[in-house]
Amino acid sequence: MARLKLVVVGGGITGLAAAHRAVELARERSTALDLTLIEARARLGGTIATERAGGFLIEAGPDSFLSEKPWALALCRRLGVEDRLVRTDDRFRKVFVWRAGRLHPLPDGFQLLAPTKLGPFITSGLFSWPGKLRMALDLVLPRGVSDDESLGAFVRRRLGREALERVAQPLVAGIYTADPDDLSLAATMPRFRELERRERSVVLGLWRANRRAPQAGTSGARWSLFVTFQNGMEELVATLASRLPQGTALLKHRVDGIERHGHGWRVLSAEGAAVEADRVIVAAEAYTTSRLLRYVDPALATLLGEIPYASSATVTLGYRRGDVPNPLDGFGFVVPRTERRAVLACTFSSVKYPGRAPEGHALLRCFVGGALNEGILQSDDGVLVAGTRDELRQALGVTAEPVLTRVSRWPKAMPQYHVGHGGRVETIERCAAAIPGLHLAGGAFRGVGIADCVRSGEAAAEQALGSQSPASDRLDRPEPA
């Protein structure tokens, strides 16, 4: 029996999901598979990295995944690790906005861009009365006509400047580390574009959808919106790696190029190794994929290189609980750009999830950098920590020395879905489909979250092994959270 040689380039969550799905499919079809997973770093997992220290559980990168997007949860079920997942402590679902020196709770029922409950919105101190009236104007405004516009332009047009500056921009910064005036509405939050088209009013559409949806706490749903692993997100990485055939992963191998070789491919590493393959899945950042394919298809490489990326960092601080005067009665807070702060957002990690801090302690995780403030990452770790501590002092009243400090930097790790992104991705997919045996996957295309990356990697594996998955399963546009 001929053996299918498959190489996966990139050992982040996308590449791991692709490799694992390929093994599953080969087993289901009794296909002989030679699988090689090549990763430049000394470890697998990409931006997913978990550390335990002094009783704290520290996530350097993503701390959870969305349960409403089914692909990551379905993978956990197939892996048999669903019982190791934990949900958020929804007694503290509140999110705050730090504005004018105060933490204002986001009005109950506010769905990212607009309110769905009248009472909490009317009584909220987060918005001025002119701002509230401007948001209400959405009820009578006509539909827009643009196929794609920036998220910033959409929110200003429908709901006004305050809705953008005080809620949409800081919440979006926490998801995409992006400038909403560059971010494509169609590629990131198509739900709101469809609401406007279908209902005309975004607020009215959300109100109607909220009335139809079951109320929180009554649906019997097992999982909260965000879920994680008892021992941190690296559990998912370790489990996937353990299910791959022994010797599959080549660590500390930087791929230097990919070239056609007869009817197949040759993957070249900077260390001088060459791995031959019938099919290749490239699950790396778009700019890396662009470099690898520059001689295979220059036009495709150019398109991939046009997808921008932003850099960010997490600053995690552990405190004795008695040293934090704030009640920490929420999941955290976000910070509008207009406040001119370094911190984009802060997650109260030990409140949001159980087991993140030892008894009598609190763990706070702050985000800095992003598309609007990448320059701050030129500062050393000490400066980042000092600046973060000063802002936590102002926001939460914390003056004590932390008992734990960690800084994790993620240079050019977050793809930016600028206006026109959807059209660019469609062109990339057409170009890649014309190259036999080459498959692309990752967060650069149709979703940046872990669930989206799992979906992308698994779809690439299904294509590589000849699965007849419907095109709609591969090409529809999931909405990142």
| 353 and 425 both lie in a single domain | no
Phi and psi at 67, nearest 5°, equal -85, -20
- Cβ pair 450, 175 in contact under 8 A: no
Is the residue at 406 inside a domain?
yes
Indicate the residue among 415, 435, 457 that finishes a domain.
415
- Count the alpha carbons within 13 Å of 275 in the hemisphere toward its beta carbon: 25
Indicate the residue among 369, 392, 415 that finishes a domain.
415
Is the residue at 314 inside a domain?
yes
| 296 and 267 both lie in a single domain | yes
Low-confidence ranges of the chain (pLDDT < 70): 1, 212-222, 467-481
Task: Calculate ∠ Cα 420-205-120, nearest 5°.
Answer: 110
Mean pLDDT of the chain: 92
Query: What is residue 210's predicted lDDT score, i.e. its pLDDT?
Result: 74
| 406 and 326 both lie in a single domain | yes
Write out the DSSP string of 371-417. Answer: TT-GGGGGS-HHHHHHHHHHHHHHHH---SPPSEEEEEEEEEEEE--
| 408 and 426 both lie in a single domain | no
| 140 and 273 both lie in a single domain | no
- Cβ pair 364, 62 in contact under 8 A: no
| 368 and 456 both lie in a single domain | no
pTM of the model: 0.92
- Number of domains within the chain: 3
Is the residue at 89 inside a domain?
no
| 339 and 411 both lie in a single domain | yes
Query: What is residue 473's predicted lDDT score, i.e. its pLDDT?
Result: 39
Kindly state the tokens that stand for 467.
Answer: 């699965």
Q: What is the CATH number of the domain that holds 343?
A: 3.90.660.20
> Considering only CA atoms, which of 147, 156, 144, 149 is closest in space to residue 201?
144
Q: What is the CATH number of the domain that holds 25?
A: 3.50.50.60
| 120 and 208 both lie in a single domain | yes
The residue segments making up the domain with residue 357 are 309-415
Listed in sequence order, the residues at least 6 apart from 380 whose beta carbon sits closer than 8 Å to its beta carbon are: none
Q: What is the CATH number of the domain that holds 156?
A: 1.10.3110.10
Is the residue at 94 inside a domain?
no
Query: What is residue 219's predicted lDDT score, i.e. its pLDDT?
Result: 33
β-strand pairing of 438-440 with 309-320: unpaired
| 300 and 435 both lie in a single domain | yes
Is the residue at 480 inside a domain?
no
| 335 and 357 both lie in a single domain | yes
* 456, amino acid identity: S
Is the residue at 141 inside a domain?
yes
